[in-house]
Amino acid sequence: MKKIKTLLLAAVTFLGAVSMTQAQSKVAHIDTQKLIADMPAMKAAQNQLEKLQKTYEADIQTMATELQNKMKQYQAEAATKTDAENQKRGAEVQGMQDNILKYRQNAEQEMGKKQENLIKPIMEKARLAIQKVARAKGYQYVIDATAGSGLILADGPDLTADVKKELGM
């Protein structure tokens, strides 16, 4: 009887250890930030955003140059103009400064919208690929191993290579 109890206790302990091992093996990790940064679609999106930003910067620079030239001209001519004309010119300069500020704010908003429109589908594609690979490999949980995400140790399976393969990278 004592042997049966010992055998039963050993079997329960063995089954508990096996189930713990299996539960631990159903967790994997991936650095989503690195994965997304390596995706060709992300690189193309970044190029588009850089081009758009350069366009906005060039437009703002052109407007600023025009403003500076007008200010220099008005300052040089101020002594020969009436007070009413100088006030009118001052208002014109102030209007130009306001327009530059509004354009800059608009540009920032448009950049934010464009960035969201370009990056959202890329992130969704990555998320779906991670889910597909994780399910195919039998993982119940995938933890984001991006630096600063709270993951301290990532010795378990890393899905990055498999997800990149799924994405055709």
- In tens, the pLDDT along 101-137 reads 999 999 999 999 999 999 999 999 999 999 999 999 8
Q: At what angle do helices 40-77 and 83-136 cross, to 10 degrees?
A: 170
In this predicted structure, the answer to whether residue 27 has a pLDDT above a threshold of 60 is yes
Residue with the larger pLDDT of the pair 79 and 2: 79
Q: What is the pLDDT of residues 36-50, one digit of tens each?
A: 999 999 999 999 999
Inform me whether the pLDDT recorded for 35 exceeds 90.
yes
The alpha carbon of 42 is separated from its chain's Cα centroid by a whole number of angstroms, namely: 9
pLDDT in tens, 39-94: 999 999 999 999 999 999 999 999 999 999 999 999 999 889 898 999 999 999 99
Residue 155 — very low, low, confident or very high, per pLDDT cuts 50/70/90?
low
Average pLDDT over the chain reads 85
Domains of the chain, first to last: 27-166 (3.30.910.20)
CB 146 within 8 A of CB 34: yes
**Counts of helices then strands in the chain (DSSP H, E):** 5, 2
Question: What beta strand segments (E) does the chain contain?
Answer: 27-30, 141-144
Alpha-carbon distance of 143 to 169, in angstroms, equals: 21
Which pLDDT value is given to residue 8?
Answer: 45
* pLDDT band at residue 10 under the 50/70/90 scheme: very low
Cα 22 from Cα 99, distance rounded (Å): 64
**pLDDT value of position 139:** 87
